[in-house]
Amino acid sequence: MARLLHILTFTFLAAGPALAQDMPLSQILLAGEEWKTVEAAERPSPPPPVVLDAVRDARLRQPTCTVRIGHTLYAGYPQSRALIAFTLGTDNVPQHPAPYCPLRRKPGSPGVDVTALTVDREGRIYAATSLGIQVFDPTGRLCGVLTTPPGRVEQMAFENDQLTLWIGPVKYSRRLNTHAAP
């Protein structure tokens, strides 16, 4: 209640657009929920390779994964420092790339591989990396990192309120307090 009052106090008294709503991981984590293996799961075909000239980064690398929400396309790259956000113009042409979501990296490391991306209905962006699933709010700020079972996440998606991962031949799922984006 005190935290709600604090948020409301700020909302009504603060300097205009001074602070976007914070989205700590606690908003999506559910007590007692962990990663569970999904038995007899049939792995979907991997998504087609992303080969879009417009989303090649400054070093002319192709993204390993992309996800769209609204009029923004987020792209993940190997050994990168940030998810790149593109604005989708008319005809859905990606333009104006910017390192919108700075990724957590191992100290001293030049970058981290982003292997899968997804979004939830509140607009959070989920980026699968070797450090875990890095979750960003819609303004590009890191909310936190979800730990994952060992291995490289090759595919990731929401199925209703379950975040699902494919690591090798195994499918994992975990219920979160959110839902797939419409």
Nearer to another protein, 13 or 40 (CB): 13
Rounded to the nearest 5°, which phi and psi values hold at 53? Answer: -55, -35
Question: Residue 144 CB, nearest distance to another protein (Å)?
Answer: 7
Nearer to another protein, 4 or 60 (CB): 4
With beta carbons less than 8 A apart as the criterion, state whether 100 and 82 touch: yes
Nearer to another protein, 120 or 165 (CB): 120
Question: Residue 81 CB, nearest distance to another protein (Å)?
Answer: 11
Residues that bind another protein (CB under 8 A): 2-3, 5-6, 9-10, 13-20, 22, 24-25, 70-72, 85, 87-90, 95-96, 98, 100, 102, 138-141, 143-144
Question: Residue 132 CB, nearest distance to another protein (Å)?
Answer: 15
Return the bridge partners of 126, or none.
118, 135
Nearer to another protein, 83 or 167 (CB): 83
User: Using CA atoms, how far apart are residues 97 and 87, in angstroms rounded to an integer?
Assistant: 7
User: Using CA atoms, how far apart are residues 80 and 179, in angstroms rounded to an integer?
Assistant: 28
- Specify the amino acid at residue 2: A
Rounded to the nearest 5°, which phi and psi values hold at 114? Answer: -105, 120
